[in-house]
Amino acid sequence: MWNNSLQTFAVGIMMAAGVSLSACNGPTQEVTPDVADSDNTTEQARPVQASPAPETDLDGATAEQGTPVKYDVSSWGDKQVQPISIQEVDQIKSTFGKVVTTDENSLDYASNPAVKYRFMDTDAPYLDLIDSEKYLELGWYFANPTDSDKEKELSKAHAKKSYQLARQLMNDDGGKVISDMLRGQIIKNKTIGGQKIELGKCEFYSCMLVLNKSGEQQAEDS
């Protein structure tokens, strides 16, 4: 009996002690903060700073626009010039300068056989004179705003020579024709200064003035 009572008493003490320990440890586990979770929460709550947007260039417009070419036509002179006929090819060539190359198998404005006189090297902005039985064509490089300064200066020099030649062929009216072309005007099928202009224009890196030789003959006969 004593033994049974002693065993019962001992078991009761052990159970009470277990319950007591559980009660003590339980609250401790519940209030212990999870350091890792706390740090993560802080990181997630911190606002993310936006990276500064890179400066743009409006689709590169500033870099690509360049400086427009200015043709100071008023400074090219309005003194009287020696008139020449559209048939006087040698005198016309002398106005443009020294012929660098001659192509006797070229074509004119209407794809007729012609001779092309080139007054510049192949790799330089061109200045050409194309002569055929029916047409005389002046052609030169029309510089773009993004071209180099050297290319722009050559383009202006070519335009000045064409201006002088046009005045020799059509008097002061010829100078006005070149001036109008450089400002973007297109001239078609007009008789100006005794010459019939088939086409005169400056666009897409090229200027061309095409004169119909038969137009001068009719002007001379009239």
Per-residue pLDDT of the chain (222 residues; tens, 9 = 90+): 444 443 444 445 445 444 443 444 444 444 444 544 444 444 444 445 544 444 444 444 444 688 999 999 999 988 889 999 999 999 999 999 999 999 999 999 999 999 999 999 999 999 999 999 999 999 999 999 999 999 999 999 999 999 999 999 999 999 999 999 999 999 999 999 999 999 999 999 999 999 999 887 444 444
Residue 127 and residue 25 share a domain: no
Residue 26 and residue 112 share a domain: no
Residue 194 and residue 96 share a domain: yes
Q: How many CB atoms lie within 10 A of CB 151?
A: 17
Helix (H, G, I), strand (E, B) or coil at 12: helix
Residue 109 and residue 34 share a domain: no
Domain-embedded: residue 67: no
Decide: pTM greater than 0.75: no
Name the nearest CA neighbour of 77 among 163, 13, 9, 137. Answer: 163
Domain-embedded: residue 88: yes
Residue 143 and residue 183 share a domain: yes
CA distances from residue 121 to 103, 106, 118, 126, 222 in whole angstroms, order as listed = 13, 17, 8, 7, 41
Domain-embedded: residue 52: no
Residue 109 and residue 198 share a domain: yes
Domain-embedded: residue 56: no
Q: Are 162 and 140 in contact (CB under 8 A)?
A: yes
Number of structural domains the chain divides into: 2
Domain-embedded: residue 65: no
Enclosing domain of residue 41: 2-45
| Helix axes of 89-96 and 149-170: crossing angle, nearest 10 degrees | 150
Residue 95 and residue 12 share a domain: no
Residue 76 and residue 41 share a domain: no
